Structure 1
Amino acid sequence: MKKIITLAAVALCGFTAVAQPGKLKPVYYSLSFPNAAHHEAEITMTIPDVPAGKLKVRMSRSSPGRYATHEFGKNIYNVKATDANGKALKITQVEGDVYEIIEHPAEVKISYTLFGNHTDGTYVGIDASHAHLNMPAAFMWALGMDKRPVKFEFNDLGKYGWKVATQLKHESGNVYSAPDLQYMMDSPTELANVKVSSWDLKNTNGKVQKMAVAIHSDDDQATIDNFAKMVQKVVLEERAVFGEQPDYDYGSYTFLDDVHPNNFGDGMEHRNSTSIVDRSPKVGGNENDLLGTYLHEFFHSWNVERIRPKSLEPFNFEHANMSNELWFAEGFTQYYGEMLLVRAGFNSVDDYTGTIAGLINSVLANPAPGKYPPTQMSRYAVFVDAGVAIDATNYTNMFTSYYVYGGATALALDLRLRSEFKITLDDYMRQVWLAYGKPGKPYTIPDLQNTLAKVTNAAFAKSFFDDYIYGFKKNDYAALLAKAGLILQKAAPDKGWMGRIQARPMNGGLQIAGATASNTPLYKAGLDADDIILKVDGKDAKETSALADAVKDKKPGDKVVINYRNRLGDHEATVVLEESPAYQVVTFEKAGKELSQQQKDFRAAWLSSKVK
């Protein structure tokens, strides 16, 4: 007997309510797994009522929650087309991911083999233990038919002992549905022996919503149930930021999670679910590490899935989707995902100081934020968001992740709102939610500025956006943190530093791997990628420890002589050491300083639980 679990309703990629299928006949997908051990699925797409003229079908090149392009078409083969009776039709591959049928009847069946052996939030992972399906990576679709309803038939469930974990609507047996293409593409599906733990949660409007974790891992049910209780705490802490949860489609939200060392770690937000992939051996013993991803992705059910940039509407599956707003959509989410672990009681303030230092170092210790604003880093997502390239890049000097850049910006804004206006970033986020997320109105950056002006004043909002969003001025983090009894100080004061160097033993020396950062003494001395360091202060450089050994007893201003080789021959460079630009954050208590009552109150108001 097939054991099937319906965990949640399907998600929409945009803002529209559930589409009404009308009289359109659905596109029907049938999936079978006769060769799962070798990572293959057999898929047949049946398209009824095909209009006269050329029929084009294709694989996607982008995926909801991802911003770079991905060539999903490379993993399908044995593509064939027939009529309803199995008579072959001529199908031609006209682009790498596009196929066309010029002559066809009213019903067309297209079949293909799908290969998938990369379990993460973007691709497909298939083996005898599961079929982890990101929809754009798995399913062809017909151009011009994106409003058609869709049905899925998942076969071989009993053969492998799989259940169905998805937001797709359960129709009957092993059949599930979506109202249209956008809905379908935003609905990741896990076919596996998942363990489920669910609970009812009453929203502030009185509506009861079904929350669930569905986890494919080597844990027992008791471990999953215990972890679900931890997730319940962070769900409530996130709801407290906005004052309410969204009304999830069909009243449910599901955390889909696949945990195994062979995975590729990832988290991918969707409107009513999240697809989390972790490389840990089990959930048990790694709960806190997992919670950070849960917090980040669940925060997206407000920020990005409903508080949605206009630049991402509607989502286009044929090319990269560029946005200027990822510093807010991803960066502010990054800030909250980490900070709320403290509010929820899973991390201490001392734990959090390392996170704060990481955010600040991302903008103060790296070259790119000194030249480029968060908006430009957001646009570069089309290249760096799990994008694939084989040529060398200069990202070391011209890119800093919009996650941490935006996170550092959110940290500064939160502390400034608290100290200058006696309000909080929560207040701001709540206003953005009420103005744009709840009514389903896509926003622009000027909209975010106008909302900040409403909770502060026009002058402050204009200055903040001009300086820190459109510009690349940096906040005074030391002064801001001091209000909470935290000290920002150099991580390695009065110690010599030549720069962070990635090198590997090669040809009798150490070959520099990747561009050197422009704010390092090594860069200023003329060394760069592929140069082979032969000697440091006259000593052979055969192990990476030689570089650290050369500076361990030196101070800023001291010199190190490096002999190196490149295509122009052998060279000698004198590197003048500097102090590392990296910072660390410590509490007043650890530094032996006494907190004032004002600092205690400020820290408590910032980092204590907001769940009533």
Structure 2
Amino acid sequence: MKKILSVALISMLSLSAFAQNEIRYVVSFPNAIHHEAEIAMEIPNVPAGNLKVRMSRSSPGRYATHEFGKNVYNLKAFDASGKSLVIKPSAGDVYEISSHGNVVKVTYTLFGNWIDGTYAGFDETHAHMNIPATFAFPVGMDARPRLVQFRYADQQNWKVATQLKPMGNNTYYASNLQYFMDSPIEIADYKTSSWEVKNSDGKAQTIHLIAHSNDTQKAIDHYAEMLKKMVDEHFAVWGEFPAYDYGNYYFLEDVYPSNAGDGMEHRNSTSIVQRTPKIEGYESNLLGTFSHEYFHSWNVERLRPKTLEPFNFEHSNISDELWLAEGFTQYYGGLLLTRAGLKTVDNSLQAFNGMVNAVLNSPGAKNFSPIEASRYAVFADAGVAIDQTNKGNIFLSYYTYGAATALALDLRLRSEFKLTLDDYMRALWKTYGKPEIPYVVSDLEKTLGELTKNPSFAKDFFKKYIYGTEKNDYAKLLLNAGLVLRKANPGQAYTGFGNMSVSDGKVTLPQTLQGTPAYQAGLDVGDVLLTIDWQEVNDLAGVEKVINAHKPGDVIAITYLYRGLQKSTKLTLAENPVLEIISIEKTGGTLTQAMQTFRDNWLNSQIKTK
């Protein structure tokens, strides 16, 4: 069966490829019910010598490695006449062919059953493909164009959605490997809703919502109307749309409860995977991913760090600038939904509250800079490890860290320079994004100095808050908008136990964080609490009851099990460090007109009306 299938796949490839330079693929789904795809690749004009064919280990928008080769099997190679070639696997995802002719054809089976933005998934309802997880490629031929044809005659009502250029006959084109790898594909009986946008130069482009979900067309159209409002606020920040290749941008959305969930940006599209039963009734919950990923079509897809250009598919991609590429995007993702009227001001305050708490209270932010957080992405960005790490004490997500930095810079530009973060993003876009000139951190500092006409401010900001670990005065900055930053639970005793687990009457600690009372007392992950203040505890309510009977500064005795041995320690309670952001009027204070104007200029719509 497998032999017949391989011969059939080879026959699919057009003989015209002999005269072409394109690397051609044919993909079919004869066993989609069991999550398999059959892929054939034809490589013309193969240079003499050893040919390496491999799967990617990384994927655009992801920074850690992902071993895509693990789902490839039945890999075979043939010459132009169909004669088998000898393959030597030199690594788990690298295949070497030393003896071959001018044309090499490779066939393989790919298993995919993980629906998110990074991997591939096949079943009777759709084929969901992230390109690096799907397609092998010849090493050293990155500049060659790609053609891929899909064959799915047995799948009812399937159709293709992708940013790749359509060539007819279910065939699609990419100019090189980088573009190909950055072009996700959804093949399904999906519904779509599209609308036209006019760019600042008057040219029209089309934005498409592609929804593989259990929704009616009416629900999809209604959701598209919400997305239009969001898109308009994004345009207002940047002042223009990117020039989308082939005049189209695609939201590729897949919605089903058993999906893995994810959002992954690409040059002219984004893959959004949700875990709800459908879109209708869950619209508000899904918008944040759309807003974040759409902002990326400017920030990171075109306004791009030099460290990610070109993207390397053979190992992890380390970057110093993810605090801006991902973190500033995180800040704007929620903010622009509030400006569009799709989220409330309280929603934004809740998001800002999370950012500020994390950056002021986490050991990762206290001891490491945004640049260092960015570098750690090669381990933290959906990276897979079976051993425990000390991430809780050495890392704050560059999403959160960068978003908190964006918040501070936005407020400082508004209060000190009568500028905004929007102005800064437009300046970066004009200099680096639109002409697609990759930047380094010093370029970001230089642009800030030019925008403010104060290079000393820019130098100081980057020295303290980007290269360093100092923190902005968020309380002072937020007060400009009539927002008060204060302790959420003043006077409340705090242990730093974290999210404890309970099983069979045993209360077990998670990893404790540096600087907390629990950490200082020598407690750590896996310790089982026996008594607190000489009172036996066997559930979370019992722990809470004992602690609430104390105040900050009290010293309490604790007995616990460590690897089965009973131990004891003394713990000095601190005051709960959790902060909250609340409007000054809710505290009984006075919201001045200046505060109201500042808040409105920041959080209200930025769309200019005629």
Q: Aligning the two structures, in what range does the TM-score lie when normalised by the shorter sequence?
A: over 0.9
Give the C-alpha shift of residue 503 in structure 1: 3.0
1:215–1:224 CA contact under 8 A, matched in 2: yes
Match of 1:43 in 2: 39
2:292 paired with 1:289: no
Match of 1:461 in 2: 458
2:239 paired with 1:243: yes
- Corresponding residue to 1:126 among 122, 126, 129: 122
2:229 paired with 1:233: yes
Equivalent residue letter for 2:500: A
Q: CA RMSD in A?
A: 1.5
Name whichever of 574-583 and 355-364 sits farther off: 574-583
**TM-score, scaled relative to structure 2:** 0.94
Give the C-alpha shift of residue 42 in structure 1: 1.0
User: In structure 1, the residue corresponding to 2:187 is in which secondary structure?
Assistant: strand
CA deviations 1:508-551 (Å, max 9, x no partner) are 622323x2101211111100112222233334433333332322
Rounded Cα–Cα distance in structure 2 between residues aligned with 1:211 and 1:508: 55
Give the C-alpha shift of residue 594 in structure 1: 2.6
2:165–2:246 CA contact under 8 A, matched in 1: no
Equivalent residue letter for 1:494: G
Rounded Cα–Cα distance in structure 2 between residues aligned with 1:486 and 1:447: 33
Give the C-alpha shift of residue 87 in structure 1: 1.9
1:307–1:442 CA contact under 8 A, matched in 2: yes
Match of 1:212 in 2: 208
Match of 1:17 in 2: none
Match of 1:497 in 2: 494
**TM-score, scaled relative to structure 1:** 0.94
Give the C-alpha shift of residue 437 in structure 1: 0.4
Match of 1:476 in 2: 473
Give the C-alpha shift of residue 284 in structure 1: 0.9
1:550–1:560 CA contact under 8 A, matched in 2: no
Equivalent residue letter for 1:451: T
Rounded Cα–Cα distance in structure 2 between residues aligned with 1:551 and 1:215: 50
Match of 1:6 in 2: none
Rounded Cα–Cα distance in structure 2 between residues aligned with 1:580 and 1:383: 31
Match of 1:105 in 2: 101
Name whichever of 120-129 and 548-557 sits farther off: 548-557
Give the C-alpha shift of residue 507 in structure 1: 7.3
User: In structure 1, the residue corresponding to 2:404 is in which secondary structure?
Assistant: helix
2:505–2:539 CA contact under 8 A, matched in 1: no
Equivalent residue letter for 2:352: I
Match of 1:437 in 2: 433
Match of 2:580 in 1: 584
User: In structure 1, the residue corresponding to 2:585 is in which secondary structure?
Assistant: coil
CA deviations 1:567-603 (Å, max 9, x no partner) are 3821112221111211111112322323100001100
Equivalent residue letter for 2:72: I
Q: How does 1:258-277 map to 2 (within 5 A)?
A: 258-277=254-273
CA deviations 1:264-303 (Å, max 9, x no partner) are 1211111111111111111111111211111111111111
Rounded Cα–Cα distance in structure 2 between residues aligned with 1:193 and 1:248: 25
- Corresponding residue to 1:485 among 482, 486, 490: 482
Give the C-alpha shift of residue 500 in structure 1: 4.3
Give the C-alpha shift of residue 157 in structure 1: 4.7
Give the C-alpha shift of residue 158 in structure 1: 4.7
Match of 1:223 in 2: 219
Match of 1:73 in 2: 69
2:327 paired with 1:314: no
2:264 paired with 1:252: no
Match of 1:169 in 2: 165
- Corresponding residue to 1:328 among 313, 324, 329: 324
Give the C-alpha shift of residue 24 in structure 1: 4.6
Poorly superposed stretches of 4+, deviation over 4 Å: none
Give the C-alpha shift of residue 559 in structure 1: 3.2
Rounded Cα–Cα distance in structure 1 between residues aligned with 2:202 and 2:421: 26
- Corresponding residue to 2:404 among 408, 413, 418: 408
User: In structure 1, the residue corresponding to 2:251 is in which secondary structure?
Assistant: strand
Rounded Cα–Cα distance in structure 2 between residues aligned with 1:523 and 1:482: 33
2:20–2:44 CA contact under 8 A, matched in 1: no
CA deviations 1:236-255 (Å, max 9, x no partner) are 10111111111111111111
2:362 paired with 1:366: yes
Match of 1:349 in 2: 345
Structure 1 runs not aligned, ≥5 long: 1-20
- Corresponding residue to 1:426 among 422, 429, 434: 422
Match of 1:201 in 2: 197
User: In structure 2, the residue corresponding to 1:589 is in which secondary structure?
Assistant: helix
1:334–1:404 CA contact under 8 A, matched in 2: yes
User: In structure 1, the residue corresponding to 2:155 is in which secondary structure?
Assistant: helix
Number of residues of Structure 1 aligned to a counterpart in Structure 2: 590
1:508–1:534 CA contact under 8 A, matched in 2: no
CA deviations 1:417-439 (Å, max 9, x no partner) are 10001111111111010010011
Equivalent residue letter for 2:557: V
Rounded Cα–Cα distance in structure 2 between residues aligned with 1:158 and 1:170: 21
2:254–2:273 CA contact under 8 A, matched in 1: yes
Match of 1:393 in 2: 389
Give the C-alpha shift of residue 162 in structure 1: 1.3
Equivalent residue letter for 1:529: V
CA deviations 1:461-502 (Å, max 9, x no partner) are 011000100111111111111110111111111001101423
Give the C-alpha shift of residue 389 in structure 1: 0.5
Match of 2:57 in 1: 61
CA deviations 1:130-186 (Å, max 9, x no partner) are 111000001100011111111111111552431111111111121112111111100
Provide the identity percentage. 55
Rounded Cα–Cα distance in structure 1 between residues aligned with 2:464 and 2:136: 45
CA deviations 1:97-154 (Å, max 9, x no partner) are 1001111122211111111111111111111111110000011000111111111111
Match of 1:522 in 2: 518
Match of 1:607 in 2: 603
Rounded Cα–Cα distance in structure 2 between residues aligned with 1:415 and 1:277: 33
Rounded Cα–Cα distance in structure 2 between residues aligned with 1:539 and 1:88: 74
Match of 2:507 in 1: 510
CA deviations 1:290-321 (Å, max 9, x no partner) are 11111111111111111100111111000111
Equivalent residue letter for 2:585: E
User: In structure 2, the residue corresponding to 1:89 is in which secondary structure?
Assistant: coil
1:506–1:532 CA contact under 8 A, matched in 2: no
Equivalent residue letter for 1:591: T
2:136 paired with 1:148: no
2:528 paired with 1:532: yes
Rounded Cα–Cα distance in structure 1 between residues aligned with 2:534 and 2:31: 59
Rounded Cα–Cα distance in structure 2 between residues aligned with 1:115 and 1:490: 51
Name whichever of 32-41 and 401-410 sits farther off: 32-41
1:533–1:562 CA contact under 8 A, matched in 2: yes
